[in-house]
Amino acid sequence: MVNIIERNNVQMIGDGQQTILCAHGFGCEQSMWKYITPNFQDDYRIVLFDYVGAGKSDISAYDSSKYNSLHGYKEDVIDVIEALDLENIIFFGHSISSMVGMLAAIEHPEYFQKLIMIGPSPCYINEKDGYQGGFEKSDVYDLLEMMEMNFSGWASYMAPVGMGDAKPQLTAELEDTFVSTNPRIAREFAEVTFFSDYRNLVNKLTTPTLILQCSEDSIVPIHVGQYLHDRMQNSELVVLDARGHYPHISHPVETTTIIQNYLVR
């Protein structure tokens, strides 16, 4: 029988009764939450994990056929929840993990109390129907080719793009995290991420959801947050002063304050 705790490098911190489950974004791992978790651990039990293929997960458990869509990553989330017998969960999802959390909550709404989506997007591509996800398909193909040809070069390019005007040491930390990932798995996750389109499922989510959209984000245009809010039941949208795609790293105080205010209501 698979040991989910070891497979996904599950860690728990905090003293509270209610659980916050934190799901990292593409190219990252659980340590990316370290700038905001201290602000929650007195009141909540925080569960951290790495997706299979990321961080200190069991990379031998990675299967391209399973993780060729977000449903494979959704299964990781459900596996962790069921292995720990979690309930009444507050789910923190960064970037593409917001959609992973959405898929999990649509399938198992009984597990979740609230979703916190940080920089979410249901579709990253500019589509012919007029939807503007921010990227042309050719942009994504160029990105994938860069990852194949020069992975460290891709990391050094993407880190400042994603981090925005954050402190240089934070950008360097993100670049180091990118570089530490398995290049083949990262490239496959990138393709799954940037070519995903879950717009047709957004209105099926019923779990109360907070959408955090940065005021300037080179990965997710500001109107995408409004797009989600307009179509997502029981959602609230907050546009942060923070710029970049990683406000939980670059602007932890603002991010924490907004989330805490939402959770106590």
**pLDDT of amino acid 164:** 85
Instruction: Kindly report, residue by residue over 66-80, the tens digit of the pLDDT.
Output: 999 999 999 999 999
Per-residue pLDDT at 153: 94
Please list the active-site residues: 95, 217, 245
Pick the closest to residue 133 from 187, 180, 177, 95 (CA basis): 95
For residue 135, give the DSSP letter: B
pTM for the full predicted model? 0.96
User: Which pLDDT value is given to residue 165?
Assistant: 78
Which residues does residue 114 pair with via DSSP β-bridges, in sequence order? 90
**How is the chain split into domains, by residue range?**
4-122+199-263
- Kindly report the three-state secondary structure assignment for every residue of 161-208: HHHCCCCHHHHHHHHHHHHHCCHHHHHHHHHHHHCCECHHHHHHCCCC
For residues 174 and 163, is the Cβ–Cβ distance under 8 A? yes
Q: What is the distance between the alpha carbons of residues 237 and 100, in angstroms, rounded to a whole number?
A: 19
For the 4-122+199-263 domain, the top CATH level (class) is: alpha beta
The predicted structure's pLDDT at residue 102: 99
Tokens of 247: 């406000």
Output the pLDDT for position 166. Answer: 75
What separation in angstroms does the CA of 71 have from each of 52, 60, 104, 106? 13, 19, 9, 12
For the chain, list residues with pLDDT below 70. Answer: 1
pLDDT in tens, 193-239: 999 999 999 999 999 999 999 999 999 999 999 999 999 999 999 99
